Amino acid sequence: MSGEASRRKAIALFPALHEIEPELEAYEGLLRRWQKTINLVAAATLEDIWIRHFADSAQVHAAAPEIRRWADMGSGAGFPGLVTALLLKRESGAHVHLIESDQRKAAFLRAVSRETEAPTSIHAERAEIVLPRLADKIEGVSARALAPLENLLRLAEAPLAEGALGVFLKGEDWEDELTAVERAGNFICESAESGTRKGARIVVVRHKAPPL
């Protein structure tokens, strides 16, 4: 798909992306520039960046539009967390913690956040270290392409136990991963078909016994 067709299709799927087009254009420009020296995303996805990355990420905010305070684990080049932050940019109290252990990718996240004035904090550390500190500060946790669902729930154990919602973009193994978590019995899980990737799924998870 051409870049322009990808943009039009992404905005048709998620009209809210139109509101942040200047920011996403700046983001795309920086991504293309930094990609020459750091491997931020698979090169083959760059032409279709609006669908493969911007619209795919927009599904997290769409799954829980009431949530203002997020943490995104293993953000990489900012997907989905930095797109969530841009979609929330004009909402009061909005803040997204981007957790990315690779220092160079974290520097990229800082550069895009600065340029687009996205409401983020960048944590260049491992999620298992950062999340316990954020447990009572966030309402939602997201991740894409980081780990199997069971491992994601272990990484996000502290905020989920405090009542945060987990929204995870999962690939083709989603069904086996979901079954394993449902069998363990601690979480209420829902899932919906991805609007951007065939065979992929948006999985929404809540702890069964959050604090009163």
Ligand X SMILES: C[S@@+](CC[C@H](N)C(=O)[O-])C[C@H]1O[C@@H](n2cnc3c(N)ncnc32)[C@H](O)[C@@H]1O
- DSSP character for 118? -
Q: How far is the CB of 17 from ligand X (least distance, A)?
A: 17
Q: Does 35 bind ligand X (CB under 6 A)?
A: no
170 three-state secondary structure: strand
Q: Does 127 bind ligand X (CB under 6 A)?
A: yes
Q: Where are the alpha helices (DSSP H) in 14-161?
A: 16-19, 21-34, 49, 56-63, 81-87, 103-116, 127-134, 149-155, 157-161
What are the beta bridge partners of residue 142?
Answer: 72, 167
- Return the number of other C-beta atoms located less than 10 Å from residue 205's C-beta: 24
Output 145 or 180, the one with its CB closest to ligand X. 145
Residue 80 phi/psi, 5-degree rounding, is -95, -10
Q: Is 187 annotated as a binding residue?
A: no
Output 67 or 127, the one with its CB closest to ligand X. 127
Mark 107-126 with x for binding to ligand X (rule: CB under 6 A) and - for no binding: -------------------x
Q: Does 97 bind ligand X (CB under 6 A)?
A: no
Cα–Cα distance, 142 to 62 (Å, whole number): 12
Q: Does 48 bind ligand X (CB under 6 A)?
A: no
Q: Is 127 annotated as a binding residue?
A: yes
Q: Does 100 bind ligand X (CB under 6 A)?
A: yes
Task: Report the side by side order of strands in the sheet with 201-207.
Answer: 120-123, 95-99, 69-73, 140-144, 165-170, 201-207, 187-193
Q: Does 74 bind ligand X (CB under 6 A)?
A: yes
- Answer for which of 1, 12, 145, 180 binds ligand X (CB under 6 A) is 145
Q: Does 61 bind ligand X (CB under 6 A)?
A: no
Which amino acid appears at position 172 of this protein?
A: E
Annotated binding site: 74, 79, 127-128, 144
Site of interaction with ligand X (CB under 6 A): 73-77, 79, 99-102, 105, 126-128, 144-146
Pick out the residues of the known binding site for S-adenosyl-L-methionine: 74, 79, 127-128, 144
